[in-house]
Amino acid sequence: MYRSSGAVKYLIAGAFAMLFLGAFMLWSIFAAYVKTSFMCSDTDVTNMYTFFLSFFCLGALLCGKLRGGEHPRKALLACAALIGGGYMLCSITENLKLFFIGYSILNGIGVGFAYNAILAAVVPWFPGRSGFATGVLFMGYGLCGTIFSMPVSNLLKIVTWRDMFLILSFCSAVVLVLVSCILRPVAATQEKTAADNGADSIPPAQMIRSSSFILYFIWVVLLLAGGMVLNGTAALCAAEAGLSLTLAAASTSVLSFSGAISRIIIGEFYDHKGYRLSMAVVQVLYLTGCIMLLGGLHVNPTLLFLAYPMIGFSYGSLPTISSPFVLTFYGKKYYAQNFSVLGLYTFFSSMCGPFLFSIALSKFDGSFSRALLLLPLLGIVACMTVMIFFLTRQKPSVNYK
């Protein structure tokens, strides 16, 4: 049930804002233009995105520390200035260092802060449906690449990448300002219960010492690292396996779409079946997808059309179930802070996956199909971790409903 009739309005507004926050997923489209414009190396371009993710995590942590979800208007107005200013700086500067400041630092902090502020403001409006609410928000976030990739690519044939950054600056700032006028925190309704007051909630310092957090964090990092590797190499691997360029591109679209749609499905599933079955489903889908992946790479490439959606669904589900997991296990009072700490899995996964994959590529002489043996290995270790989680009978520390 919802706290008020306005809850759906807040959810729609939050999902709309998240759609524009996901614009950083378009970086692969802009990367070649930025490289040519600044005459920089592939390493420089990769580092831009890597540092963006680092400052994204920093922004999310700052939001939790400053309790941005309790003051979404102020938080989102600040984010509008950071993101709008960041894109604006990128569009006008001729200096690579200033571009780095605009894209990686200002934009990274702004997106991370807004991301956490929206989750913290919207999800508590849906007690008992936190999985569904999180899924809708993340589906908006994940659909950005699917919806805008083709239009942006076509526009870049007409306008320059700098013009597109100006458009992103304007659109992101306007959307965040509008949404800041709509969102209200639950606290604003003066409907606090004993659970809301957080008598049994667990603060971050205590959470990170709990075995439930440690095991869950390791599990998410491992599966997300595998998903990130596949997400970055799907088209190349499909082509190497023998698919045509058209089918290779189609397989990548299937991967992206399954990751996006998984968010609302797994969120609803979490609400009805709980964290144990949700984690089990994600794990089984990942391992089954890895088996199909090996079959597609070494036996019949059409099996990739089964492997990619399974792994994509598993990979896309992880952020969605993490939000209600934090509420279920550690309570609502420190939700924004706790979720921002757990959200560091983004940073560790983005470091772990590409690093291990580069080692595998080197070992297998640049063969993508053989290097992807890394994915089932990560899945096996993750499976062992989740089995330990279940066998040690990890239980929620609070009774959140």
pLDDT at 3: 52
Which sign, positive or negative, has the C-alpha torsion 390, 396, 60, 6?
A: positive
pLDDT of residue 399: 57
Q: How many CB atoms lie within 10 A of CB 32?
A: 13
**What would the pLDDT profile of 19-32 be if each residue is shown by its tens digit?**
888 887 788 778 88
Q: How far apart are the first and last CA of the chain?
A: 10
Q: Residue 249: is its pLDDT beyond 90? A: no
3-state secondary structure 76-91: HHHHHHHHHHHHHHHH
52-98, pLDDT tens digit by residue? 888 998 898 888 777 666 778 888 999 999 999 999 999 999 999 99
Q: Where are the alpha helices (DSSP H) in 22-129?
A: 27-38, 42-66, 72-92, 96-100, 108-122
Choose the weakest-confidence range: 192-201, 334-343, 385-394.
192-201
The CB-based long-range contact list for 150-159 (8 Å cut-off, 24+ gap) reads 152/26, 152/29, 153/29, 156/29, 156/33
Could you read off the pLDDT of 236-245 as tens digits, one per residue? Answer: 788 888 888 7
Q: Encode pLDDT of 148-165 as tens digits.
A: 877 888 888 899 999 999
What is the reported pLDDT for 191?
A: 45
Nearest-CA neighbor of 394 among 275, 269, 261? 275
By the 8 A CB rule, do 168 and 180 touch? no
pLDDT at 187: 61
The mean pLDDT of the chain is: 86
| pLDDT value, residue 351 | 83
* Cβ-count burial 116-147 (b if 16+ within 10 Å, e if not): bbbbbbbbbbbbebbbbbbbbbbbbbbbbbbe
**DSSP per-residue string spanning 120-185:** HHHGGGSTT-HHHHHHHHHHHHHHHHHHHHHHHHHHTTTS-HHHHHHHHHHHHHHHHHHHHTT---
Instruction: Please give the pLDDT value at position 195.
Output: 44
CA distance 309 to 290: 11
pLDDT digit string, tens, across residues 177-209: 999 999 988 764 444 444 444 546 889 999 999
